[in-house]
């Protein structure tokens, strides 16, 4: 996912939310001013491509439960991604995972 696509998606979600930039960006790791800058930039630019972005697949590795079938001691799931691994503890926050995967996709797109 390119940086422009990432921000277009975030700007769209922000506009649909009806929230202020400050409230929408709270906890997302970016300044509200950055969101506003991208919103302005994207409003004045033409889409770089009409082709939908490609989707990369990642390998999901799971480990079987203990000998008795118990989940006790289970640490969660490990996602192998290009250049690293994302380890998810049991009860992980899905919105945080989504943001982490967006960042990984953005960085992977920047290195192509």
What are the sequence ranges of the domains in the chain? 1-54, 55-112
The reported pTM is 0.41
Answer with the residue of higher pLDDT: 4 or 66.
4
Confidence of residue 10 (pLDDT cuts 50, 70, 90): very high
pLDDT digits (tens, 9 = 90+) for 101-112: 777 777 666 555
pLDDT at 103: 75
pLDDT of residue 91: 76
Comparison of pLDDT for 76 and 38, the residue scoring more: 38
- Could you read off the pLDDT of 17-71 as tens digits, one per residue? 999 999 999 998 899 999 999 999 888 765 555 455 566 666 666 666 555 555 5
- 16 vs 47, residue with greater confidence: 16
Confidence check: pLDDT of 100 > 70: yes
The predicted structure's pLDDT at residue 65: 55
Give the CA diameter of the chain: 60
Catalogue the long-range contacts made by 79-88 (C-beta closer than 8 Å, 24 or more residues apart).
81/108, 82/56, 82/108, 83/107, 83/108
Tokens of 99: 């943001």
């Amino acid at each position: 996912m390119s940086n422009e696509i990432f921000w277009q998606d975030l700007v769209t979600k922000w506009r649909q939310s009806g929230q202020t930039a400050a409230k929408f960006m709270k906890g997302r790791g970016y300044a509200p001013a950055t969101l506003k800058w991208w919103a302005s930039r994207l409003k004045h630019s033409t889409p770089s491509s009409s082709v939908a972005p490609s989707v990369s697949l990642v390998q999901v590795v799971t480990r079987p439960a203990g000998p008795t079938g118990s989940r006790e001691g289970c640490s969660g799931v490990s996602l192998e991604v290009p250049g690293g691994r994302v380890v998810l503890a049991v009860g992980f926050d899905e919105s945080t995972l989504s943001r982490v995967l967006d960042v990984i996709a953005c960085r992977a797109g920047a290195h192509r």
